[in-house]
Amino acid sequence: MVPADIAPQIISGGLRSRVIGRSLEVMAETGSTNDAIMAAGRAGRPEGFAVLADRQTAGRGRRGHSWASPAGLGLYTSILLRPHQPVARVPLLTLVAGLGVAHGIEEIAGVVVRLKWPNDVLVESRKVAGILAEMTTTDEKVSHVALGIGINVNHGPRDLPEALFPAATSLSIVTGKTFRRGEVAAAVFSALDRWYQVFRDGCVETLLAAGRERSATLGRLVEVLADGERWQGVAEDLDTDGALLIRLESGELRRVIASDASIRTPRETVSPQQ
Ligand code: BTN
C-alpha cells in the first residue's frame, strides 16, 4: 500500500508545473524508479511523466553505487524527459535537476542548498540528495531520459548507511522537522519545471550562471579519479556542456566529464555517495 504522505493527491495538489509531474504513478515498491521510467519511455508515455516509490529494492547511484531506499523515509522519484536537443547537451540535465532540487528543498525546508559537481545536492556541506540521469538514444538522437532524484527526507542519523554518516544528512536532521514527502515532491517538480523550461529554451548561460552561484566545487582544490588515474587541481569553471574545468599546478586547463570521473576535496575522508 502507498503511504498517505506520498498519495498522488498530495503531489498534484501542490504542483505548479506545466510538464513535470503532470502525469504520475506512485508505487509502494519497485526495483529502481529509473528503470520504471525507461520502460515508460519505451511505452510512449508523455514527457514529464513521473514515478515515485515508497521503497526501491535496487536503487542505484552513479558509477555502480547502490542507493539505499528504505520505505517511509526518502523521496525516490524519476521523471521522463524527451529533450529535443543534441546528445552533447544531456549532461546539463544533471545541473537542471540539481537546480530544481535545490530550489524545491529551499522552499519546503528553508535551508541553504549547494551543488557539488556533478550530481550531489548538499546542505551544511553534507549530501542530502543525489541525481542520476540515464539516456536512451536511437540513431544517435536522444530518445528519452530518465532523470532520477533521491532525497533523504525523514531519515534520522541511524537510518543513513553507517559508512556514509556524517558525510550524508537529511532534511529532518538539519531542520528537526518531519516532512510529507509528497509536498517535497511537488515543490521539487515545480522548481524543476521552471529550470527545464530554461534548458528547452536553450538558455545555457542562465543555467551555468545559476550552477556557478550555487557551486560547492568551484574555487576548491579537488582530487579527480578518472580512468584509473588520480590527480589534483583547482576547479575553475563549468564548461558549456556541464563538464568541469580544472586548472592544474602546471597551468594546464583540463576538462572532466561527469560520466568519466568522480571528484572529492582532498580533506574529505569519505566520498559522500548519499
Ligand atoms: C547518486 O548520488 O549517485 C545518484 C543517486 C540517485 C538515486 C535516485 S533514487 C530515484 C532514482 N532511482 C534510482 O535507482 N536512482 C535514482
pLDDT in tens, 34-73: 999 999 999 999 999 999 999 999 999 998 899 999 999 9
Closest-lying ligand 1 atom to the alpha carbon of residue 34: 12
CA of 67 to the centre of ligand 1 (A): 6
Closest-lying ligand 1 atom to the alpha carbon of residue 65: 3
User: Which three three-digit cell numbers place residue 59?
Assistant: 536503487
User: Which three three-digit cell numbers place residue 198?
Assistant: 530554461
Q: What CA–CA distance (Å, rounded) separates 196 from 190? A: 10
Per-residue pLDDT of 202-257, as tens digits, reads: 999 999 999 999 999 999 999 999 888 999 999 999 999 999 999 999 999 999 99
Strands 221-226 and 229-238, bridge-based pairing = antiparallel
Secondary structure letter of residue 168 according to DSSP: B
Residue with cell 578518472: 226
CA of 251 to the centre of ligand 1 (A): 36
Report if pTM > 0.85.
Answer: yes
How big, in percent rounded to 5, are the helix, strand and coil portions of the chain?
30, 30, 35
Which residues, including other chains, have CB under 8 Å from residue 110's CB and lie 6 or more apart?
175
Please name the residue whose Cα sits nearest to atom 1 of ligand 1. 61
Q: What CA–CA distance (Å, rounded) separates 247 from 18? A: 40
171: left (phi over 0), alpha (psi -120 to 50) or beta: alpha
Ligand 1, residues at Cβ distance < 6 Å: 32-34, 56, 59-62, 65, 67, 76-78, 119, 130-132, 148-150, 273
